[in-house]
């Protein structure tokens, strides 16, 4: 949700409360019931907004983790394993040329 969406939700709840204030004169009991229901609705909406923000954060984290895993896999595929199980550096002239190119790029 965007900042604008949050403001629109807040404005909507404010308008509903103002409408209830006008209706209170004619039917106070119904207004009290509606106010209770609206308060419950507000709590649910706040919870959903918080969950939405958490999901957005997790999606970003998942994307970063996926990108890192891809880069690591790519590096492991290029490298060779030594007896200790570590990836050995590629010391070929082509690899040195690749390193030089990547260091020159911003």
Calpha distance 67→74 (Å, rounded): 11
Cα 21 to its chain centre, rounded Å, is: 37
Secondary structure element (H or E) that encloses residue 100, with its range: helix 93-104
- Would you put residue 86 in left (φ > 0), alpha (ψ -120 to 50) or beta? beta
pLDDT at 59 (0 to 100): 93
Query: In 3-state terms, what secondary structure has residue 88?
Result: strand
Contacts with 20 (C-beta within 8 Å, 6 or more apart), sequence order: 31, 34, 35, 38
Domains of the chain by residue range:
3-104
pLDDT tens digits along 32-91: 888 888 889 988 888 888 898 899 999 999 999 999 888 888 877 776 555 565 655 556
């Amino acid at each position: 949700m965007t900042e604008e969406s949050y403001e629109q939700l807040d404005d909507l709840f404010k308008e509903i409360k103002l409408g209830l204030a006008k209706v209170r004169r004619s039917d106070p009991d119904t207004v009290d019931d509606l106010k209770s229901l609206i308060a419950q609705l507000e709590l649910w909406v706040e919870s959903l907004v918080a969950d939405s923000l958490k999901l957005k954060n997790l999606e970003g984290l998942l994307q970063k983790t996926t990108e890192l895993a891809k880069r690591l896999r790519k590096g492991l595929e290029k490298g060779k394993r030594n007896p200790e199980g570590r990836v050995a550096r590629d010391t070929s002239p082509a690899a040195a040329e690749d390193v030089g190119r990547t260091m020159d790029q911003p």
